[in-house]
Amino acid sequence: MRPSSQRWTVARLGCAQTLAWASTYYLPAMLAVPMARDLGVATSMVFAAFSLALIVSALLGPLAGRAIDRHGGRPVLVGTNLWFAASLAGMGMAQGPVGLFAAWALMGVAMGSGLYEAAFATLVRLYGQGARGAITGITLIAGFASTVGWPLSAWMELQWGWRGACFGWAALHLLVGLPLNGGLPGIENAATGQNAPAPAPAPAPAPAPASEKATQALPTPAASDAPHALRTAVLLSFVFAVTWFTSTAMAAHLPRVLQASGTSLQAAVAIAALVGPAQVVARLLEFGLLSRLHPLLSAQLAAAAHPVGAAILMVVGAPAAAVFTVLHGAGNGILTIAKGTLPLAFFGPAGYGERQGLMMAPARVAQAFAPLLFGLLIDGVGAAALWVTSLLGVAALAALWMLRPVVRQ
């Protein structure tokens, strides 16, 4: 596929992912309070319904990945726009807890087959081992999902109420998201332009382009080395689970953590806003300088960022709040990419979607419980709760150091 065509694909998919994340993951932050007030339930119940959606998405992720492996990403992603629109419309029509939980459960179906994992699998299905740059590209664009989503949700809620905001996001999925995903290329053979079957192992390795040399710097495990492959998959699943726990906990409680460390409310809100730019800058580094390294090395550097920043904050206190926030955001930005590039580097493109869905299932479950558990930790020990996420980060770093691919025979 021509480079210009690949850039256009990345742009379309990145914009569609921005819409998907803004209307799901970042929705409760703006609408949970008015939603709970109008429905006569506690705000925690809205977040419990959100957790249900994440658990449903964890269960369906492998099925969506398998479908992308077989049929390509376009039909799956187009279908998720319809699911997103239906769940948001159902949320806007909810009259009580039953309708609320039903709408979020339906949202979980869409999230399990329409967020980053599905987008990464789509790119791997199209570009194979050369998908690393494309994966980085869509995360660069969708890194602004909170920057776009939070103000737009707040504006729609102010203009039309929270129900109108849900209907507005549903309309955007039909009018914007559906055409974006519908315009993605099908599964093509680069030589003929015709539909092609799933990638099969070549009889002999072809010379790797310069952009792929870093990805191939460390060998991948042989297909016959099942124990090694299982060990690698388990370690990666652990890394994804603990890092997503920390990422979600910070997304829900970062301003509160900064306040607990001695930062004023106004400063905490302003400093927390640095996470988005830090993520994007780190992803630009991954796209440029770090693209010369194996993604495992990038992930190791990223996993160390949160523990180092937290240690500085614990020792120095409020004056180091910005340093901690930037380090956390930068590490999280690269780790998001690593969730797509590490499975590709270790196992190759064959069966990527289903394998990644299985490895990300524990991360979805950890993500579902992160806001509640970390909130209880802050209630109990204040800013010292960061020692828990720091230890998780150190454990993730240790797991990444334990990954030792064997030489393919």
| CATH assignment of the domain containing 61 | 1.20.1250.20
- 12 lies in the same domain as 116: yes
Place of tokens 């799956």: 76
Contact 342, 296 (CB under 8 A): yes
- 142 lies in the same domain as 288: no
Range in 51-60, 93-102, 251-260 with the lowest mean pLDDT: 251-260
Instruction: Answer with the one of 162, 182, 202 that is the final residue of a domain.
Output: 182
- 159 lies in the same domain as 246: no
- The answer to whether residue 409 is domain-embedded is no
- The answer to whether residue 292 is domain-embedded is yes
Place of tokens 């803004």: 22
Q: Which domain holds residue 242?
A: 219-402
Tallying the residues shown for the chain, one arrives at 409
- The answer to whether residue 187 is domain-embedded is no
- The answer to whether residue 256 is domain-embedded is yes
- 255 lies in the same domain as 370: yes
- 128 lies in the same domain as 227: no
- Higher local confidence (pLDDT), 6 or 179: 179
Instruction: Answer with the one of 182, 210, 240 that is the final residue of a domain.
Output: 182
- The answer to whether residue 199 is domain-embedded is no
**Total Cβ atoms within 10 A of residue 105:** 16
What lies within 8 Å, CB to CB, of 25 at 6+ separation is 111, 115, 145
Task: Give the residue ranges of DSSP H helices in 24-144.
Answer: 28-39, 43-71, 73-93, 97-114, 116-127, 132-142
* 302 residue type, one letter: A
- 148 lies in the same domain as 252: no
Contact 31, 169 (CB under 8 A): no
Place of tokens 């952009």: 211
Rounded Cα distance between 140 and 312, Å, is 27
- 171 lies in the same domain as 235: no
What does the block give as tokens for 312?
């500085």
- The answer to whether residue 193 is domain-embedded is no
Tell me the per-residue pLDDT of 270-307, one tens digit each, with 9 for 90 and over.
787 788 788 888 888 877 776 677 778 888 889 999 99
Q: Which residues of 290-301 are buried (b: 16+ CB within 10 A; e: fewer)?
A: bbebbbbebbbb
Predicted pLDDT at 198: 44
Q: Please, what sign has the CA dihedral across residues 124, 126, 132, 134?
A: negative
Give φ, ψ of 264 to 5 degrees: -70, 160
- 393 lies in the same domain as 310: yes
Q: Is the pLDDT of residue 204 over 60?
A: no
- 237 lies in the same domain as 375: yes
Predicted pLDDT at 223: 41
Count H helices and E strands in the chain, helices first.
Answer: 16, 0
- 26 lies in the same domain as 112: yes
Total structural domains within the chain = 2
Instruction: Answer with the one of 182, 211, 227 that is the final residue of a domain.
Output: 182
Tell me the per-residue pLDDT of 293-349, one tens digit each, with 9 for 90 and over.
777 888 888 999 999 999 999 999 889 999 999 999 899 888 888 887 888 888 888
Q: With helix as H, strand as E and coil as C, how does 210-245 read?
A: HHHCCCCCCCCCCCCCHHHHHHHHHHHHHHHHHHHH
Q: What is each CA distance from 4 to 9, 110, 180, in whole angstroms?
A: 9, 30, 17
Q: Is the pLDDT of residue 265 over 90?
A: no
- 124 lies in the same domain as 245: no
- The answer to whether residue 53 is domain-embedded is yes
- 119 lies in the same domain as 22: yes
Contact 9, 185 (CB under 8 A): yes
- The answer to whether residue 383 is domain-embedded is yes
Q: Is the pLDDT of residue 364 over 50?
A: yes
Contact 244, 393 (CB under 8 A): no
Tell me the per-residue pLDDT of 141-162, one tens digit each, with 9 for 90 and over.
887 787 788 788 889 999 999 9
Q: Please, what sign has the CA dihedral across residues 393, 398, 403, 404?
A: positive
